[in-house]
């Protein structure tokens, strides 16, 4: 009952109501006003009206669907960073290890790199305030390092045994959605896109142009783990691949009439073999791109079934600076598929990933079943595709856990592999950069030797005495452990893109996609790539 009463406080605060009969609304509003007034006048203690109203907002939106959400005023700016493609700060990527703030990388050309801060530095103080050993959280880091453009912050770091202070002028920092792109061989290019923001269209177009200059004929476009973003960015990315005024996606809602988004520009990769990589964490805008490519038989989808989000949110700013992201429409792929998975039971909706795993879907394609009523046909070759619960790939790749021993999992969970790679990099940075001047040199020639592994084992034992070396586990996981260390070292010297360039060798979905281009699998599908 309390939840129902609170449900309408947002309406009182904002004064905005759409699409409800006036008499019904007036009665509901009057009831809520009465209760809210009585609580304010008669409750035994002081009434936390802001807390009640925010609880009401959250409760209201939870009654609608899983993706209508409330963003408090103090969180709006950070929530919009990935969408806007930038934020104002000092320009570092960081991690908190053992209650210490570590610089993972500096943003190239950013304020911290300019003054001399570098990867591996430990931040001890910010504006004279000690931050090491105080239980610092990510929110605390953001509070101290973000600020007004042009403002100055004093950062004191520990490098080895030397304590140094820097005066850093905050500036706009780009948040890239294309985090890596490179040539796998002399013809196959690779691009990894992590989200869809206002800068995505330009970033993707630039990446494609640069790879084509390097000789790219075929493209592997990686959307694994991409949770989505702006609808307009999804349209622009799909438009790079789809031509001739073809429909990319359409949306429709109770208040919003049908709205079509079509290919309306000359894309940079409208011809050429295209493979889109998807998995269970690819959602929303990622599914728009994948669905359009599949429906028009423009390329091959490789991986596992996507998340299954077919709802469109619109940000609505409230008077106090807070924001709601309200579902206003459903979106549909060109063939008419609505790929939203059921959300009648919110608890089950949240457990979907676990349910998929326990049901065997991550390992076996034949454990996935769609009702005939959800079947559609692609628009060129008339292949069968399905709606109602994500997008199924054309080539299914099971989750590979054969190298995942308990020892390896513990090394990852305890942060030991990551922290060891930072220590090793800091102790050998100049030597590594001198010997391997580029990521390509490093990836091709650097080897994680047995001596490095011995250092890891000793380091792990010092850091956590419970991490007992298990020889059988190590035999199972040796390859993935050494590859992870190498990738982390690459990240510490270059950037996150370098991590993927090294670690992608362990990604079965990428391997299968590459093989499909090489073994004739792609060409057998007779896709529309010319």
Q: What is the pLDDT of residue 355?
A: 85
Match 């309306």 to its residue by tokens: 264
At 333 the pLDDT is 97
Chain region(s) in the chain for CATH 2.30.42.10? 86-174
Instruction: Give the residue numbers marked as catalytic.
Output: 284, 295, 309
Helices (H), 360-415: 406-413
Can you tell me the distance from the alpha carbon of 52 to that of 43, in angstroms, rounded to the nearest whole number?
Answer: 13
- The whole-angstrom separation of Cα 512 and Cα 530 is 22
The pLDDT value recorded for residue 12 is 43
CA distance 473 to 339: 40
| pLDDT tens digits in sequence order for the chain, 530 residues long | 344 444 444 444 444 444 455 578 788 878 878 888 888 899 899 989 888 888 888 988 999 999 999 999 888 887 887 777 778 889 888 877 777 888 877 887 789 988 889 877 889 999 999 988 777 777 788 888 888 889 999 999 988 788 999 999 999 888 889 999 999 999 999 999 999 999 999 999 999 999 999 999 999 999 999 999 999 999 999 999 999 899 999 999 999 999 999 999 999 999 999 999 999 999 999 999 999 999 999 999 999 999 999 999 999 999 999 999 999 999 999 999 999 999 988 888 888 888 888 888 888 887 888 888 889 999 999 999 999 889 999 999 999 889 989 999 888 888 888 889 988 998 899 999 999 999 999 999 999 999 999 999 999 888 776 777 888 998 999 999 999 999 999 998 998 899 999 999 999 999 999 999 999 999 998 786 66
Where is 458: in which H helix or E strand?
helix 450-463
Taking each helix axis as running N to C, give the angle between helix 450-463 and helix 416-435, from 0 to 180 degrees, rounded to the nearest 10: 140
CA angle 37, 42, 44 (to 5 degrees): 130
- Could you tell me the sign of the dihedral formed by the alpha carbons of 493, 495, 496, 501, in that order? negative
What is the fold, at CATH topology level, of the domain defined by 178-399? 2-enoyl-CoA Hydratase; Chain A, domain 1 (3.90.226)
Residue recorded with tokens 């494609």: 208
**Phi then psi dihedrals of residue 208, to 5 deg:** -65, -45
- What gap in Å lies between CA 369 and CA 365, rounded to an integer? 9
User: What region, left, alpha or beta, does residue 214 occupy, with left being phi > 0 and alpha being psi -120 to 50 degrees?
Assistant: alpha
DSSP 235: H
- Phi first, then psi, for residue 111 (nearest 5°) are -60, -40
Predicted confidence at residue 3, as pLDDT, reads 45
φ/ψ of 134, rounded to 5, equals -115, 10
SS3 assignment, position 173: strand
Would you give the DSSP letter of residue 100? E
C-alpha dihedral, 492 to 498 to 499 to 501, nearest 10° = -160
CB burial of 420-435 (b: ≥16 within 10 Å; e: otherwise) equals: bbbebbbeebeebeee
Give the HSE-up count for residue 45: Cα atoms under 13 Å, Cβ half-sphere. 2
The conformational region for residue 61 under phi > 0 = left, psi -120 to 50 = alpha, else beta, is alpha
Query: CA angle at residue 195 from 193 to 197, to 5 degrees?
Result: 115
Cβ pair 460, 416 in contact under 8 A: yes
pTM: 0.86
The strands making up 218-222's β-sheet, listed across from edge to edge, are 178-183, 188-193, 218-222, 274-278, 300-303, 395-396
pLDDT at 65: 93
Cα separation of 226 and 230, whole Å? Answer: 12
| DSSP-based three-state secondary structure for 515 | helix
Total length of the chain: 530
Distance between CA 36 and CA 49 in Å, rounded? Answer: 9
Torsion of CA 512, 518, 519, 521, to 10 degrees: 70
Q: Outline which parts of the chain fall under CATH 3.90.226.10.
A: 178-399
Burial class (CB in 10 A: 0-12, 13-18, 19+), 125: middle
Instruction: Look at residue 68 in the predicted model and tell me its pLDDT.
Output: 94
What is the end-to-end Cα distance of the chain in Å, rounded? Answer: 61
According to the model, what pLDDT value does residue 152 have? 93
**Assigned fold of 86-174:** Pdz3 Domain (2.30.42)
Count Cα atoms within 13 angstroms, Cβ side, for 386.
Answer: 17
Residue 251 neighbours by CB under 8 Å, 6+ apart: 231, 258, 259, 261, 312, 329, 330, 331, 332
Model pLDDT, residue 22 = 59
Query: Which pair of tokens denotes residue 371?
Result: 């009702």
**For position 7, what pLDDT does the model report?**
45
Which residue(s) pair with 314 in the sheet? 326
């Amino acid at each position: 009952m309390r939840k129902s009463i609170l449900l309408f406080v947002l309406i009182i605060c904002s004064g905005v109501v759409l699409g409800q009969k006036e008499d019904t609304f007036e009665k509901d509003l009057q009831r809520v006003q009465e209760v809210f007034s009585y609580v304010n006048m008669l409750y035994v203690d002081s009434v936390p009206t802001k807390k009640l109203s925010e609880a009401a907002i959250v409760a209201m939106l939870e009654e609608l669907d899983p993706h209508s959400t409330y963003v408090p005023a103090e969180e709006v700016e950070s929530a919009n960073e990935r969408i806007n493609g930038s934020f104002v700060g000092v320009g570092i990527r960081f991690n908190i290890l053992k209650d210490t703030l570590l610089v993972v990388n500096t943003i190239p050309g950013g304020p911290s790199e300019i003054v001399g801060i570098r990867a591996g530095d430990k931040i001890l103080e910010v504006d004279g305030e000690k931050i090491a050993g105080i239980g610092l959280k990510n929110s605390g880091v953001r509070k101290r390092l973000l600020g007004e453009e042009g403002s100055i912050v004093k950062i004191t770091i520990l490098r080895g045994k030397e304590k140094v202070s820097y005066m850093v002028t905050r500036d706009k920092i780009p948040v890239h959605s294309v985090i890596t792109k490179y040539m796998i061989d002399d013809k196959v290019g690779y691009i990894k896109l992590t989200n869809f923001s206002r800068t995505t269209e330009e970033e993707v177009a630039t990446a494609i142009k640069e790879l084509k200059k390097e000789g790219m004929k075929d493209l592997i476009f990686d959307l694994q783990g991409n949770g989505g973003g702006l609808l307009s960015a999804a349209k622009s990315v799909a438009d790079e691949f789809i031509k001739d005024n073809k429909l990319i996606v359409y949306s429709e809602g109770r208040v919003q009439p049908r709205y079509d988004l079509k290919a309306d520009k000359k894309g940079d990769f409208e011809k050429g073999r295209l493979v889109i990589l998807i998995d269970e964490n690819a959602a929303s805008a990622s599914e728009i791109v994948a669905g359009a490519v599949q429906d028009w038989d423009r390329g091959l989808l490789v991986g596992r079934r996507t998340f299954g989000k077919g709802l469109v949110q619109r940000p609505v700013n409230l008077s106090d600076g807070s924001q709601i992201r309200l579902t206003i429409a459903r979106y549909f792929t060109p063939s008419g598929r609505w790929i939203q998975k059921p959300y009648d039971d919110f608890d089950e909706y949240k457990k979907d990933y676990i349910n998929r795993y326990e049901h065997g879907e991550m390992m076996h394609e034949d454990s996935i079943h769609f009702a005939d009523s959800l079947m559609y046909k692609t628009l060129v070759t008339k292949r069968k595709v399905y709606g109602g619960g994500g997008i199924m790939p054309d080539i299914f790749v099971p989750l590979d856990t054969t190298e995942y021993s308990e020892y390896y999992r513990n090394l990852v969970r305890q942060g030991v592999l990551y922290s060891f790679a930072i220590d090793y990099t800091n102790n050998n940075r100049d030597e590594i950069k001198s010997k391997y001047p580029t990521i390509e040199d490093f990836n091709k020639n650097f080897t994680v030797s047995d001596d490095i592994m011995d250092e890891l084992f000793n380091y792990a034992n010092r850091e956590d005495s419970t991490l007992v070396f298990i020889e059988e586990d190590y035999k199972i996981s040796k390859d993935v452990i050494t590859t992870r260390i190498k990738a982390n070292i690459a990240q510490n010297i270059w950037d996150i893109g370098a991590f993927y360039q090294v670690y992608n060798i362990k990604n079965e979905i990428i391997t299968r996609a590459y093989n499909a281009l090489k073994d004739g699998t792609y060409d057998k599908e007779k896709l529309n790539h010319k």
